[in-house]
Structure 1
Amino acid sequence: MTRGEGIRSDEERAAEERRGPAGVRRGGPPHMQMGVPGEKASTFGPSARRLLNRLAPYRTQVAVIVLLSVASVILGAVGPRLLGRATDLIFSGFISARLPAGTTKEAALQSLRDSGQGRVADVLGSMTLTPGVGIDMTALGRVLLLALGLYLVSAALQWLSGYLLAGVIQSTVSRLRTDVAAKLNRLPLPYVDGQPRGELLSRVTNDVDNVGTSLQQTLGQLLVSLLTVIAVIGMMFSLSWLLTLIALVTIPLSMALTGAVAKRSQGLFVRQWKHTGELNGLIEETFTGHGLVKLYGRQREADEAFRVKNDELYRAAYGAQFISGTIMPAMMFLGNLNYVAIAVVGGLRVASGQLSVGDVQAFIQYSRQFTQPLTQVASMANLLQSGVASAERVFQVLDAPEQVPDAAAPLARDTTADQRGEIRFEDVSFSYDPARPLIQHLNLTVQPGQTVAIVGPTGAGKTTLVNLILRFYELSGGRITLGGVDITQLPRHELRSRIGMVLQDTWLFAGTIRDNIAYGRPTASEAEILAAAQATYVDRFVHSLPGGYDTVLDDEAGNISAGEKQLITIARAFLANPDLLILDEATSSVDTRTELLVQHAMAALRSDRTSFVIAHRLSTIKGADLILVMQTGQIVEQGTHEELLARRGLYAGLYESQFSGSGEMGAPKPGAEQVPVVGN
């Protein structure tokens, strides 16, 4: 949602700070505004399952990835068995070469027992021996080539599965980012108002990126690790059930250790990313109000606020990373204990002739392959927890209540020329907080082509009134019609396409001056753009710029003055040619001479269309067809400039306070008439 989508004047911001509208309000100067804490994080399991469910559209690719990974792991798991066979060939050939030629294996072993070497005979009994014959190089070569081939094919399959998995994950993250962007456009303005901008941006950017990074670094390796554990357990059972049981003792210990650490660190990861969002919000606000901070000499307070928030992030991140980081050394310790137990028991089995040397070597390799995936899974726990914590924050945005949807079957606009631009408020009620009513039972009719000025003290509800026309907020009661059609029966894009806005706070995007003028009507021709620029006196200063209409503005349009930025926004509204025009202190940033020129341009722009003008300088709205004086959300006076002065009420007090230089702003004179007007 762009900055220009909500019309919020300084007075409305001040009023909403007092009453606290929907969402959480923030107060204080920019450098002291902190992020709003997020909702309580959900448990790890549901968020992780929800994240994995986003892979559902890629079931076919995921199935292929799983099959490739299974094949790769199986081929890799056969390798140590072949290498054990190669070891047996080398060892048996070495021993056979030292036995007397021409004898049998049984005779050679009996000779060893007769000479008192029964333990050696037991070890050699499980081997294939051919006395007098050395190493069978042909058989050894075949085994080694087969092992090499299996490892190469396994690596190729693993590379292919990783390539496909990267595509699936990046597509998933891209779709997640698209869903979040679309969600932002469906969120109601109160939700966006209630969120620190930096915090919301952090969820959309940092957290989504962290989800993608975590999935990319953990999901593929996690799949391979789990498959490896299964395959290796099967191969170990085929060698020795006793050694396999010894190896399996580490599984419950590893699971208990990982679960205990994960439970402790998950909350810290949630805090880490919450503090990251709050710190981003603080930085964004501090640099947005950088000039204000320097003007009031609050750099020290800004630095202190940054230090406090940065320390909170440091403590959360340090605790999360340290606690989750203890899993890796603990798992390595368990793996080393397992290795020692297997080596000792395996050596005894070889000594008793129940296993060959190659079998024990293969089993030791399998034990390493068995503990390594468990260690990898444990080491990935911090990345996985961090990603799920970010996913929770993203899901909170996706789960936020959306604005009221457009009508299922919008009414066709069958508006006559006489109704074009007609605005009716019929028994309208609205409040930001149900406990604090603002606008109650308001009735108002604005005829097509009328210029209506809205004035009143700060917080009276002037900007709220036009926000309701734009459906930035939904009514509590009553209805508003445009051209005889209830605005809730019009799609929002159609309603807002018929309304032009010039705000007190200018908004220009990074692009050329021509592009900024054409923003309201991208299909406009070059001649129409130039005509709008000339009518609003943009043409007067554009030619003094190096690039003319092709001058590129930066994000804050710092290469032109505030008044020139305002003129460009006026030209944008002029080009849009709307049915209804809203001017919110549109000339507040221009000098007196330019203001007179703009007033002439505004007069031409307002012709043949309904206009709402929010003004503090009452001299600019003396020619309005109707002036509405608002106070605490109600229209207390209405009429022309002369009629309201003659009434000697609130308007007269406001007007005279601006020109006499005395008297309290907005205070009617004693005894002045002040009759509330709640309808037409």
Structure 2
Amino acid sequence: MPPRTQRAMAKPENTFKALKRIFSYMYGFRVQFIFVVICIIFSSFAGIMGNSLLKPLIDNLDHAIDDGKWHYGRFIGILVLMASIYVMGALCSLFYQRMMMKISTTTLMRIRNDLFCKMEMLPIRYFDKHTHGELMSLYTNDTDAIREMLSNSIAQFISSAVTIVGVFTAMLIYSWRLTILVVAMLFIIIKVIGFVGSRSSKGFIAQQKALGSVNGYIEEMIDGQKVVKVFCHEEKAEEEFDALNEELCKAATHANTFANILMPVMNNLSYIHYAATAIIGGIFAVKHIGGMTIGTVVSYLMFTRSFSQPITQVSQQLNSVLTALAGAERIFRVIDEEPEADEGYVTLVNAEIAPDGTVTETDKRTGHWAWKHPHKADGTVTYTEVRGNVEFDDVVFGYEPNKTVLNGISLYAKPGQKIAFVGSTGAGKTTIINLINRFYDVPEGKIRYDGININKIKKADLRRSQSIVLQDTHLFTGTVMDNIRYGKLDATDEEVYAAAELANADSFIKHLENGYDTMLTADGANLSQGQRQLLAIARAAVADPPVLILDEATSSIDTRTEALIEKGMDSLMEGRTVFVIAHRLSTVRNSHAIMVLEHGRIIERGNHRELIAQQGKYYQLYTGMFELS
């Protein structure tokens, strides 16, 4: 198998392209997003307008007293206006935050849908090259980073930009002299943010990479917990985890040290700026320089606080935005992957073929399997009943270029025949099975299915005519009935019962707490390995296909149960082509033909009696002179 890749954290390669791609998923929310922007702008200006009202409020205090009596008219009017502005700003803030949350969650739903749909269309080769933890992180870490950016960062950036522009404009109007001090302080702030931000960004990238390693190791240890305990590997596992955890701790400490430094530094700079503005503004007010008043100084001081705060907020959001865009690029890279190629045009249909050759198509998967060939020049369509003749003609294949796994494989299997493959691990047995159902396409040689090159048959139709029972069974969350019916979604209850009886699973199913309605979770953890394999065999049986493939299907079943299953298999095999991979040679004795593979070549072939008579490799395996590895 090709080597798996190691997931690496990096900055986005094209920030604008990734951001544009994310916004494309927000299509349909354009009107809502425009309202969000309007509300953000109004909310930001509400703070600016509220601060600007401090000047007339304070400057008109002298006019509120006349003849020793309070005149509340103008004073109360300003207070009511200020309160109304702040309330409207708060309502706008509440509205756009709730709306952005809805937009972000819907956008993520669309991204996850596209990601999952694309994964369902990717070839097996892709999953051989990428670890499960790497793919799962796309749905967890990367999507969560995008959610954080959409729900918080974007709104924060817009609000900060509006606030900075609005406050700076108001400051210029109130006092251009004091604004010179603001510009000088802004230059210092930008330098500090650049210094701290660059180091913080590197730290967060290292932290995410270390976090991925820790998560991957935890997943690996949980999956292999039985092996860990059997070999008393607990202490070693703890040591390895401690090393990875310590690396994560160092990276997180480095990243968060600089990130946490930023806020105190910015606060102290803002305090210095605030104090300097208060002193200089007070002097200007006392000496009436530039028409400065006490009210102007108070409003200006509020503006200085409002000016530095959004800059700090933007700097804090920058790392999360870069992380989100990097995650988005990884997601879009998968979405942009080429789907599984399929040049096939011969279609499998559900049809009844009468002896006189007339054909009746059916809506259900009952009836006979039949190939529907392309239209001829005269407009007619050719139907051929699927028999299950499988032929390998000098097939050469390798998972990686210049590294062949199969060399010149030629064989023929007819309906009703049981063809077995035996050989050492890595000899190419499972690879042959992968080629029959077109998990991989052959670069050299041909594989024919009823005389038709399988490259010309649609993959979905080809696989629909086959059932496979793998050595590693997988059961889905649902009832026993649901898991068996997975092989044929429209199967009746009676068909499910019949398939379970054929696989000898019916006896143990009836002893479960709720029988066929027993819920299975965690890949059937409440069942034994042998019981899970019996359900997998029943799932294959209910599909009732022309071709049946058993990849070590009885490896976890005791010999007594195996004997009972083989009796059921005899009736299931009738009229079907069966391929069997087995290390337990007793299971292949009754095969019509046994193929002995070694280093990707068939070195011996024949039935059990013929191969024993040859006294070759099979004879050595069967008599124990040579053990399968």
Q: Distance in 1 between matches of 2:615 and 2:463?
A: 37
The equivalences for 1:501-580 within 5 A come to 501-580=468-547
Preserved CA contact (<8 Å) 2:479 2:516: yes
Q: Per the alignment, in what secondary structure is the counterpart of residue 597 of structure 2?
A: strand
Counterpart of 1:9? Answer: none
Q: Distance in 1 between matches of 2:334 and 2:50?
A: 48
Out of 419, 442, 446, the residue aligned to residue 413 of structure 2 is: 446
CA distance 1:513–1:331, shift in 2 (3 Å): same
The equivalences for 1:590-601 within 5 A come to 590-601=557-568
How big is the shift at 1:497? 1.8
Counterpart of 1:612? Answer: 579
Counterpart of 1:62? Answer: 33
Preserved CA contact (<8 Å) 1:325 1:379: no
Preserved CA contact (<8 Å) 1:22 1:190: no
2:300 aligned partner, one-letter code: F
How big is the shift at 1:393? 4.6
Counterpart of 2:626? Answer: 664
Counterpart of 1:33? Answer: none
Q: Distance in 2 between matches of 1:267 and 1:428?
A: 50
How big is the shift at 1:68? 2.1
Residue 42 of structure 2 corresponds to residue 75 of structure 1: no
CA distance 1:269–1:47, shift in 2 (3 Å): farther
Counterpart of 2:173? Answer: 238
Q: Distance in 2 between matches of 1:576 and 1:483?
A: 19
Out of 260, 269, 294, the residue aligned to residue 325 of structure 1 is: 260
Q: Per the alignment, in what secondary structure is the counterpart of residue 507 of structure 2?
A: helix
Out of 602, 605, 612, the residue aligned to residue 645 of structure 1 is: 612
Counterpart of 2:307? Answer: 370
Q: Per the alignment, in what secondary structure is the counterpart of residue 61 of structure 2?
A: helix
Q: Distance in 1 between matches of 2:204 and 2:214?
A: 15
Q: Per the alignment, in what secondary structure is the counterpart of residue 372 of structure 2?
A: coil
Counterpart of 2:378? Answer: none
The equivalences for 1:76-95 within 5 A come to 76-93=47-64
Preserved CA contact (<8 Å) 1:637 1:644: yes
Preserved CA contact (<8 Å) 1:440 1:633: yes
Preserved CA contact (<8 Å) 1:325 1:382: no
Counterpart of 1:359? Answer: 296
CA distance 1:300–1:285, shift in 2 (3 Å): same
2:402 aligned partner, one-letter code: A
How big is the shift at 1:190? 3.2
The equivalences for 1:10-159 within 5 A come to 16=1, 21-24=2-5, 36-38=6-8, 41-43=11-13, 45=15, 49=19, 52-57=22-27, 58-93=29-64, 97=66, 136-159=71-94
Q: Please, which runs of 5 or more residues in structure 1 have no aligned partner?
A: 1-15, 25-35, 98-131, 658-662, 668-680
Q: Distance in 2 between matches of 1:252 and 1:488?
A: 66
Q: Per the alignment, in what secondary structure is the counterpart of residue 613 of structure 1?
A: strand
RMSD over equivalenced CA pairs, Å: 2.5
1:264 aligned partner, one-letter code: R
Moved over 6 A (4+): none
CA distance 1:495–1:276, shift in 2 (3 Å): farther
The equivalences for 1:467-486 within 5 A come to 467-486=434-453
Q: Distance in 2 between matches of 1:408 and 1:478?
A: 17
Residue 316 of structure 2 corresponds to residue 346 of structure 1: no
How big is the shift at 1:382? 4.3
Preserved CA contact (<8 Å) 2:612 2:618: yes
Q: Distance in 2 between matches of 1:74 and 1:408?
A: 62
How big is the shift at 1:495? 2.2
Preserved CA contact (<8 Å) 2:344 2:459: no
The equivalences for 1:454-469 within 5 A come to 454-469=421-436
CA distance 1:535–1:492, shift in 2 (3 Å): same
Moved more, 335-344 or 259-268: 259-268
CA distance 1:485–1:53, shift in 2 (3 Å): farther
The equivalences for 1:305-316 within 5 A come to 305-316=240-251
Counterpart of 1:162? Answer: 97
Preserved CA contact (<8 Å) 1:198 1:282: no
Counterpart of 2:196? Answer: 261
Q: Distance in 2 between matches of 1:656 and 1:47?
A: 65
Out of 147, 154, 164, the residue aligned to residue 212 of structure 1 is: 147
Preserved CA contact (<8 Å) 2:344 2:455: no
Counterpart of 1:247? Answer: 182
Counterpart of 2:398? Answer: 431
Preserved CA contact (<8 Å) 2:344 2:458: no
Q: Per the alignment, in what secondary structure is the counterpart of residue 178 of structure 2?
A: helix
Residue 375 of structure 2 corresponds to residue 406 of structure 1: no
Task: Render the CA deviation track for 1:121-155: whole Å, top value 9, x for unaligned.
Answer: xxxxxxxxxxx576541111111111111222222
Out of 464, 479, 483, the residue aligned to residue 497 of structure 1 is: 464
Q: Distance in 2 between matches of 1:666 and 1:75?
A: 79
How big is the shift at 1:265? 2.2
Q: Distance in 1 between matches of 2:202 and 2:460?
A: 42
Task: Render the CA deviation track for 1:494-536: whole Å, top value 9, x for unaligned.
Answer: 2222210111122112222111111111211111111111222
Q: Per the alignment, in what secondary structure is the counterpart of residue 305 of structure 2?
A: helix
Q: Distance in 2 between matches of 1:311 and 1:531?
A: 56
Q: Per the alignment, in what secondary structure is the counterpart of residue 467 of structure 2?
A: strand
Task: Render the CA deviation track for 1:419-478: whole Å, top value 9, x for unaligned.
Answer: 521222234221123232221333333223322111112211000110112222232323
How big is the shift at 1:629? 1.4
Preserved CA contact (<8 Å) 1:68 1:158: yes
CA distance 1:299–1:319, shift in 2 (3 Å): same
Q: Distance in 1 between matches of 2:510 and 2:251?
A: 54
Q: Distance in 2 between matches of 1:265 and 1:48?
A: 22
Q: Distance in 2 between matches of 1:182 and 1:271?
A: 31
Moved more, 630-639 or 467-476: 467-476
Preserved CA contact (<8 Å) 1:47 1:391: no
How big is the shift at 1:599? 0.4
CA distance 1:419–1:397, shift in 2 (3 Å): closer
How big is the shift at 1:249? 2.5
- How many residues of Structure 1 are paired with residues of Structure 2 in the alignment? 595
How big is the shift at 1:175? 1.8
Preserved CA contact (<8 Å) 1:557 1:565: yes
Preserved CA contact (<8 Å) 1:466 1:582: yes
How big is the shift at 1:322? 1.5
Q: Per the alignment, in what secondary structure is the counterpart of residue 155 of structure 2?
A: helix
Task: Render the CA deviation track for 1:15-58: whole Å, top value 9, x for unaligned.
Answer: x4xxxx2534xxxxxxxxxxx34275545845763565445524
Q: Per the alignment, in what secondary structure is the counterpart of residue 474 of structure 1?
A: coil
Preserved CA contact (<8 Å) 2:25 2:110: no
The equivalences for 1:218-233 within 5 A come to 218-233=153-168
Give percent identity, aligned residues only.
35
How big is the shift at 1:298? 0.9
Counterpart of 1:586? Answer: 553
Preserved CA contact (<8 Å) 2:398 2:404: yes
Task: Render the CA deviation track for 1:278-321: whole Å, top value 9, x for unaligned.
Answer: 21221122121111111111111111111111111111122112
How big is the shift at 1:334? 2.0
How big is the shift at 1:237? 1.8
Preserved CA contact (<8 Å) 1:232 1:369: yes
Counterpart of 1:660? Answer: none
Q: TM-score, normalised by structure 1?
A: 0.82
Q: Please, which runs of 5 or more residues in structure 2 have no aligned partner?
A: 349-370, 374-382
Task: Render the CA deviation track for 1:571-617: whole Å, top value 9, x for unaligned.
Answer: 11110111211001111111121111000111111111111111122
Q: Per the alignment, in what secondary structure is the counterpart of residue 249 of structure 1?
A: helix
CA distance 1:385–1:666, shift in 2 (3 Å): closer
Q: Per the alignment, in what secondary structure is the counterpart of residue 412 of structure 2?
A: strand
The equivalences for 1:187-206 within 5 A come to 187-206=122-141
